[in-house]
């Protein structure tokens, strides 16, 4: 039923495919350390960010090493010719500013190792904090049902399911590739029996039969970047990730408002909505809820800062 997802699915990535197939790299030798240092200098000269971390992770992928910290600084590293060629192909991708998560094809999120594939949105470290906030408010021994709006690769839904053994989840995304990748990760993590995944674009016209049940909580990391700021994003984001997962409209609030309407209709009484937003949005959300409180029956509870001390997460409850 499910096809294997192609790592580089469209002509958008054809320059990278060409590099992978035909790229000629730095002259290799039996010393892996020499090659790594040559690429370190090249990446630094090209102002590619996070050079050490990139090299560590690419080497870990080539060598099938789980512990990658400082791997690129080993002085006695020896690589086979095949390993050297593989490493250089990955380095060409990094020169082209492909995110390291797409290059190695997997990434850790909390205690999960998840498959990654362009252009499905890459989960950020801050989102792990959102999961932790939610778990602090849950009783793991109680059965509950929750909805994730914009599941991407499935990181949030699957992390919550793993920590809440009696929970069940409905996960939706407007991208068919994201839905497929979420299901693939659910199967890989042996959680597919407790998650239902479907393609669904959230709009302000929400029908009562869109979802057959009410949810104990809803979580969403919706698109919240202002449309005018999209072209200012780093090349790793702008060139490779699905911009639909980022574009929140003129003020970044378009999808957030749609999610609030979903929460109003499909949360249980006293159910909770958890949002990850831009630091400018908590104030806008409070204002919007004040204006529409009678119709939405939603109450702002609190906002929380992320590890960078930005106002990043919002807790909202549905009133009786």
* Residues with active-site annotation: 121, 221-222
Distance in angstroms (rounded) separating the CA atoms of residues 301 and 294:
16
**Rg of the Cα trace of the chain?**
21
Element (DSSP H or E) covering residue 149: strand 144-149
Q: Do the beta carbons of residue 153 and residue 159 sit within 8 Å?
A: no
If one counts every other C-beta atom within 10 angstroms of the C-beta of residue 39, the result is: 26
In order, the DSSP letters of 264-279 are: HHHEEEEEEEEEE--T
**Nearest residue to 173 (alpha-carbon basis) of 154, 147, 157, 151:** 151
| CA 22 from centroid of its chain's CA atoms | 30
Beta-sheet pairing, 215-220 with 144-149: parallel
Distance in angstroms (rounded) separating the CA atoms of residues 238 and 231:
7
């Amino acid at each position: 039923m499910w096809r294997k997802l192609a790592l580089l699915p469209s002509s958008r990535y054809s320059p990278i495919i060409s590099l992978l197939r035909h790229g000629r790299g730095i002259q290799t030798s039996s010393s892996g350390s020499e090659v790594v240092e040559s690429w370190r200098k090249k990446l630094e000269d090209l102002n590619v960010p996070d050079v050490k971390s990139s090299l560590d992770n690419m080497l870990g992928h080539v060598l099938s090493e789980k512990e990658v910290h400082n791997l690129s600084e080993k002085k006695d590293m020896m690589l086979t010719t095949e390993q050297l060629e593989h490493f250089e192909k990955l380095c060409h991708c990094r020169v082209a500013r492909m995110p390291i998560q797409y290059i190695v094809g997997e990434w850790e999120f909390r205690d999960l190792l998840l498959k990654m594939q362009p252009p499905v949105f890459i989960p950020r470290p801050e989102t792990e904090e959102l999961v932790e906030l939610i778990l602090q408010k849950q009783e793991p021994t109680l059965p509950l049902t929750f909805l994730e709006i914009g599941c991407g690769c499935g990181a949030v839904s699957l992390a919550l399911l793993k920590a809440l053994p009696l929970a069940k989840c409905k996960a939706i995304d407007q991208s068919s590739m994201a839905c497929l990748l979420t299901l693939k990760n659910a199967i890989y993590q042996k959680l597919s029996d407790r998650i239902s995944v479907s393609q669904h674009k959230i709009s302000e016209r929400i029908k009562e039969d869109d979802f057959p049940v009410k949810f104990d909580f809803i979580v969403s990391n919706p698109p919240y970047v202002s449309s005018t700021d999209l072209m200012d994003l780093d090349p790793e984001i702008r060139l490779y990730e699905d911009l639909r997962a980022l574009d929140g409209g003129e003020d970044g609030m378009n999808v957030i408002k749609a999610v609030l309407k979903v929460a109003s209709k499909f949360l249980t009484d006293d159910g909770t909505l958890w949002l990850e937003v831009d630091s400018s949005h908590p104030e806008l959300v409070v204002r919007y809820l004040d204006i529409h409180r009678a119709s939405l029956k939603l109450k702002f509870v609190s906002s929380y800062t992320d590890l960078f001390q930005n106002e990043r997460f919002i807790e909202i409850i549905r009133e009786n």
